[in-house]
Amino acid sequence: MQLLISPDGTVRCVYAETLDLTQIGHVSIARGSHVEPDQDGRWFADLFPVGGPRLGPFATRSDALKAEAQWLHMYWLLP
């Protein structure tokens, strides 16, 4: 789990249960994307909530989740 700490002390990350984030302060969690299947069973990761693209199609949900996490780390978390 990568934490990005700003000079003002704000911490950003792609949420995971690796760390108990409440131990470092107030926690505010917001949805970064929606991972959903279409009518044909193909999976998409829609990153609209953070201003990103719709990724896919993927054959499996786990592939869509992996692509979602990679995109969030590369384009949302890192400046």
How many residues are given for the chain? 79
pTM: 0.84
- Return the amino acid letter for 43: W
Q: What is the pLDDT of residues 24-69, one digit of tens each?
A: 889 999 999 999 999 999 999 999 999 999 999 999 999 999 999 9
Q: Alpha-carbon distance 39 to 43, whole Å?
A: 10
Q: Alpha-carbon distance 60 to 10, whole Å?
A: 35
Whether pLDDT at 20 is above 70: yes
Q: Where are the domains of the chain?
A: 4-77
What is the model's pLDDT at position 55?
Answer: 98
Whether pLDDT at 79 is above 70: no
